[in-house]
Chain A
Amino acid sequence: MLPPVRLVLAALFCFASAAACVAVVRDVPRLGLTFLRSGSQVRPVLATPLVAAGLQRGDSIIRVEAPSAGLAITLQHTDLLEEPDYLVAWADQDAFFARQDTLQRIARLPSVTVLAARGTATAIRAEVSPGPAAIAALSWSFWLQLVVGAVGLLVGAWIWALRPTDWSARFYALTGLGFLLAVYASATYGTRELALPATAFRTLSALNHLGGMLFAGALCAFLAVYPRQLIRPARAAMLVLLFLLWWCANELRWTPDQRWSSGALPVALLIALGAGAGQWRATRGDPADRAVIRWIGATVLTSCTAIVAVTTLPLLVAGAPVVAQGIAFLLILPMYLGMAVGLRQNRLFALDEWAIRLLFWALTLSGVILIDLWLIGTLGSDGGGALWLAALLVLSTTPLRRWVWGRFLRRADVTPTQLFRGVLNVAAAPTDTERDRRWRDVLQEWFRPLHAAADGSNEAAASATQARLMAQGRELTVPATAASPALRLSYASGGARLFTADDVRLVDTARTLLDMTQESRTAYDTGVRRERVRIARDLHDTVSSPLLAGLSPRVSAEPEDASLALIRSEIRRAVDGMRSVVADPDQSATTLVELLADLRFVTVERLTSAGLTADWPIAALDDDVELPAAARHALSAFVQEAITNVIRHAGATHVIVRVDFAGNQFTLLIADDGRGFEPASVTYGDGLSNLQARATVLGGITRVVPRAEPLGGTAVHLSATFPATVTIA
């Protein structure tokens, strides 16, 4: 059974139980009397006036009669007891139930005479017609107890739904069930006006005891196996059985009196404390489990201690309750509400936040179902047109319902196109990190698991080559890919379905496709590289080799003249250009920042070895940009050329270089402290026109100023606009 279905069923069980409680309470007609709940008076005292019968607040009710049926009963304060367990002797309990039965028979008659006393002497006779109890007349503490009981069961069922084979989850869920039984039973008889039928009351009382015993036994068993298994789960289950036997003995009245039953919870609490101490010892040296037991201890033990202190101890010792039972049960809530907090903080039961999402969804679903039932139930019961109205309302909320179910039950329905697009998208990711992210995204999109995490559980998982169903389909393991580790997906479609063989096939197909795509991409990259190498080899054989031969000393037996020097420098430029053309763009500098680093390194070395000092601060640029090969080469050549000019012609001793790149504006300054030059004497064909040509390739402007600030020598400025800045990770 799927976790949400379990949870929805649990919610419906709560609702059905609550409805049963309401039905039992409303079965007995009411006289309209409300009593003060303080225990000092001998007879019951009215808390609110009953105007129609002429009764006032403060009147004490002496007797209730039904002369027509020959029934009459003189009221005692004990008739109003919330909890019959306060009557410890079996004989007292039997008398109590007998009086209850008589009272309820009187209340079922059309007319009842109430004899009341006002002040000291006055006796008042009032005729009252008992009517059905209005829902609104039921006390707030009744509703509160229904809610509190439901919380206990739902939290327990929620953990159990997610960890159905886990004994600790089972015991925890059992405490929730016991809690609900105890609370619902006591809420029912506690909210009666005067009486319930004896059989109903006895049954409810027995259920209340049963719930208490279940809770007590399961609590001990739970702490005996969680977080560490102090004893085997089967032994822990025996504890539960022991408490159930205790319950049987008590209901069969083999015990001396009722206190033997009420003592169960304190006994259980002692056992639980012992188990908690055992857990504390067992978790020594394990901070995670220590945190768990600390949290469980704080919530479970304080809750239970508190409730024992305010309800059971007075029962055993004083014989009178300290607080109303409705309030007392609130004390248990931390134990269940704390579980939600603990799940997040301490990963109790190895669950996580997604488990809370599941609870939320299941409750939303239950809510929608209950609203439907309520609409049909309340409106439809009036018959005729109202039924149509109900149908209309149900219909009009259909989109909401469909949305809720849709969110919840979406299935993996992956078309071949989606499959292909998803895989291509993963394969096309530029980096492994991105590929990993996209792979997880695509799995999320296809399966909508509640939870997905790296499956580092064991070596086998890491080396698996095929997807596998785990935990009866609640989980699916996805083998590792080149960029991603093995993953474990839990609860397909938000927990609404189990993983199937189709899902396994889908994952395996996707992985095969992914591998094939990767392979062909690698093959393509390799092909591009091979082609580049082939071009490089051909260029070398046909172009650079003859060119370089021109540099060979054999050609220059004569002392070099100027034109030969020029030819040689042109040859070097050509070879340089060829190098940059065949350079692998993936491997050489591709961004401005990297290129500037390379240029700085070469430039400073050149200047230093030529005997000049260089000042080129390394400052982080505001931006970075990927440069195409032509721009890289042009910028590199520009700097080299300018530096060559400085070394050859400037007669300088110091050079400063400044670069800046902000927005998309790039500026470069190369200045020296040399002699500058005479603009008139400079002819085209010199370094200056080369600079001009490089700047044009860069789409920028260069300005060469002789005898300029800051150093008094030549200053070369370059400014260019580099498009589309990119963020370099």
Chain B
Amino acid sequence: MTDPTMPREILIVEDDPAMEALAVMAVGVFIGARVRTARTLQSARECLARTTIDLALIDLGLPDGSGIDLLREITVGHDRDSSPTVCVVHTVFDSDEMLFAALMAGAHGYLLKGEPATIMAARLSAAMRGEPAISPAIARRVLARFRGSATDVRPSHLTAAGASDHHAGLTPRELQVLRLIAQGMTLSEVAGALGVSINTIKTQVKRVYERLGVGSRVAAASEARRRGLLGDLT
């Protein structure tokens, strides 16, 4: 019962009953866990206040607000590994811009609605094991984000010459890892190529997410809302 990768309390925040059923099916892999459901942010908050939740499956568009807000409330004050609740976003749209916003707000992983049950189960288990959600598209966005933060400071023409090599805030090794993933390498392949353990690679990716999140979670969410990407999306 003390296996940290096996959640005992699971919360599903979802307003659509059909989607809720899908989510319940997905968390079926965790045999013996208790599954609670919430249809609104309000009830989710109440539930979180009452119980220690191990895994939360959160829909982004809820009747009374955005799942992003809930994500932030849960993860604020914790770094990624110490958060008592593993948060996984459950969404129908996989635009990496939105996934990226969710990751920056502290999400540990994401599920696409309607994905085959095996894939869902694999993703949830990965999230519980503390594996970071990553894809080439997300790696590219992270790289672009760090590059962007460098060019925000100085006008683009000044950095044009060395722009592609200038990612303020990334260590050379992190940069290397992200670039390999952006080229389509899986985490274990990256670990093999760099001669380190896969856990090292995972830690590096998580560390990058953490750095992305620090000081930028609020900004990212508000930017996403400004661009009309979140909030009113069910």
A residues sitting closer than 8 Å to B (CB atoms) are: 431-433, 436-437, 454, 480, 483-485, 526, 529-530, 533, 536-537, 540-541, 544-549, 551-554, 571-572, 575, 579, 582-584, 587-589, 594, 596-602, 604-605, 608-609, 616, 618
Tell me whether A485 and B158 are in contact (CB under 8 A): yes
**Segment with Cβ contacts to A, from B37-45, B182-190, B207-215:** B182-190
Report the nearest B residue to A553, measured CB to CB.
B25
Q: Smallest Cβ distance from A662 to chain B, in angstroms?
A: 19
What residues of B have a CB within 8 angstroms of the CB of A582 in the complex?
A: 93, 95
Tell me whether B19 and A545 are in contact (CB under 8 A): yes
What residues of B have a CB within 8 angstroms of the CB of A598 in the complex?
A: 135-137, 184
Q: Smallest Cβ distance from A595 to chain B, in angstroms?
A: 9
What residues of A have a CB within 8 angstroms of the CB of B160 in the complex?
A: 433
Which residues of B from 118 to 170 have beta carbons under 8 Å from A? 122, 135-137, 140-141, 151, 155-158, 160
Contact of A483 among B93, B96, B155, B229 (CB under 8 A): B155
Tell me whether B114 and A571 are in contact (CB under 8 A): yes
Report the nearest A residue to B16, measured CB to CB.
A545
Task: Say yes or no: is B76 at the interface (Cβ < 8 Å to chain A).
Answer: no
Task: Say yes or no: is B177 at the interface (Cβ < 8 Å to chain A).
Answer: no
* Count of interface residues, chain B, beta-carbon cutoff 8 Å: 45
Q: Which 6 A-B pairs rank lowest in CB-CB distance, beginning with the nearest?
A: A600-B184, A549-B18, A597-B184, A552-B21, A597-B136, A530-B228
Decide yes or no: A436 and B157 within 8 Å by CB, A537-B233, A552-B22, A553-B21 being known contacts. yes
What residues of A have a CB within 8 angstroms of the CB of B95 in the complex?
A: 582-584, 587-588
Tell me whether B157 and A485 are in contact (CB under 8 A): yes
Decide yes or no: A544 and B114 within 8 Å by CB, A485-B157, A551-B22, A599-B184 being known contacts. yes
- Secondary structure of the A contact surface, majority rule: helix
Report the nearest B residue to A569, measured CB to CB.
B116
Q: Smallest Cβ distance from B150 to chain A, in angstroms?
A: 13
Chosen A-B contacts, 21 in total, with CB atoms closer than 8 Å, are: A432-B151, A484-B155, A536-B93, A536-B233, A544-B92, A544-B114, A548-B18, A554-B21, A582-B95, A583-B94, A587-B141, A588-B95, A589-B136, A594-B140, A597-B182, A598-B137, A599-B184, A600-B184, A601-B135, A609-B122, A618-B184
A-B contact count (CB 8 A): 129
Tell me whether B156 and A608 are in contact (CB under 8 A): no
Task: Say yes or no: is B232 at the interface (Cβ < 8 Å to chain A).
Answer: yes
Which residues of B from 63 to 89 have beta carbons under 8 Å from A? none
B residues sitting closer than 8 Å to A (CB atoms) are: 16, 18-19, 21-22, 24-25, 61, 92-97, 112-116, 122, 135-137, 140-141, 151, 155-158, 160, 181-186, 188-189, 227-229, 232-234
What residues of B have a CB within 8 angstroms of the CB of A536 in the complex?
A: 93, 233
Report the nearest B residue to A549, measured CB to CB.
B18
CA distance A672 to B6 in the complex (A): 36
Tell me whether B156 and A436 are in contact (CB under 8 A): yes
Tell me whether A529 and B136 are in contact (CB under 8 A): no
Additional A-B contact list (16), CB under 8 Å, known A454-B155, A601-B181: A433-B157, A436-B157, A480-B155, A484-B157, A485-B155, A529-B227, A533-B232, A552-B18, A552-B25, A553-B25, A579-B93, A594-B136, A594-B137, A598-B137, A601-B136, A601-B185
Decide yes or no: A572 and B233 within 8 Å by CB, A553-B21, A596-B184, A604-B186 being known contacts. no
What residues of A have a CB within 8 angstroms of the CB of B93 in the complex?
A: 536, 540, 579, 582-583
CA distance A305 to B19 in the complex (A): 94
Contact of A533 among B21, B25, B233 (CB under 8 A): B233
What residues of B have a CB within 8 angstroms of the CB of A601 in the complex?
A: 135-136, 181, 184-186
CA distance A605 to B119 in the complex (A): 10
What residues of B have a CB within 8 angstroms of the CB of A533 in the complex?
A: 228-229, 232-233
CA distance A154 to B227 in the complex (A): 61
Tell me whether B97 and A584 are in contact (CB under 8 A): yes
Tell me whether A548 and B113 are in contact (CB under 8 A): yes
Q: Smallest Cβ distance from A537 to chain B, in angstroms?
A: 6
Q: Smallest Cβ distance from A576 to chain B, in angstroms?
A: 8
What residues of B have a CB within 8 angstroms of the CB of A551 in the complex?
A: 22, 114
Q: Smallest Cβ distance from A614 to chain B, in angstroms?
A: 9
CA distance A604 to B137 in the complex (A): 15
Report the nearest A residue to B136, measured CB to CB.
A597
CA distance A599 to B183 in the complex (A): 10
Q: Smallest Cβ distance from A380 to chain B, in angstroms?
A: 56
What residues of B have a CB within 8 angstroms of the CB of A616 in the complex?
A: 184
What residues of A have a CB within 8 angstroms of the CB of B25 in the complex?
A: 552-553
CA distance A572 to B93 in the complex (A): 13
Decide yes or no: A537 and B232 within 8 Å by CB, A485-B155, A529-B227 being known contacts. yes
Report the nearest A residue to B164, measured CB to CB.
A729
What residues of B have a CB within 8 angstroms of the CB of A600 in the complex?
A: 136, 184-185
What residues of B have a CB within 8 angstroms of the CB of A485 in the complex?
A: 155, 157-158
What residues of B have a CB within 8 angstroms of the CB of A484 in the complex?
A: 155, 157
Q: Smallest Cβ distance from A703 to chain B, in angstroms?
A: 25
CA distance A581 to B21 in the complex (A): 26
Q: Smallest Cβ distance from A554 to chain B, in angstroms?
A: 6
Report the nearest A residue to B99, measured CB to CB.
A587
Tell me whether A588 and B184 are in contact (CB under 8 A): no
Contact of A548 among B24, B92, B151, B184 (CB under 8 A): B92
Report the nearest A residue to B61, measured CB to CB.
A537
Q: Smallest Cβ distance from A599 to chain B, in angstroms?
A: 7
What residues of B have a CB within 8 angstroms of the CB of A530 in the complex?
A: 228
Q: Smallest Cβ distance from B226 to chain A, in angstroms?
A: 8
Report the nearest B residue to A600, measured CB to CB.
B184
Contact of A579 among B94, B186, B228, B229 (CB under 8 A): B94
What residues of A have a CB within 8 angstroms of the CB of B18 in the complex?
A: 545-546, 548-549, 552
Q: Smallest Cβ distance from A293 to chain B, in angstroms?
A: 30
Tell me whether B92 and A540 are in contact (CB under 8 A): yes
What residues of B have a CB within 8 angstroms of the CB of A587 in the complex?
A: 95-97, 141
CA distance A391 to B101 in the complex (A): 79
What residues of A have a CB within 8 angstroms of the CB of B136 in the complex?
A: 589, 594, 597-598, 600-601
Q: Smallest Cβ distance from B52 to chain A, in angstroms?
A: 27
Report the nearest B residue to A440, measured CB to CB.
B157
Contact of B186 among A540, A544, A605 (CB under 8 A): A605
CA distance A572 to B233 in the complex (A): 20
Q: Smallest Cβ distance from A153 to chain B, in angstroms?
A: 40
Contact of B228 among A529, A544, A618 (CB under 8 A): A529
What residues of B have a CB within 8 angstroms of the CB of A546 in the complex?
A: 18
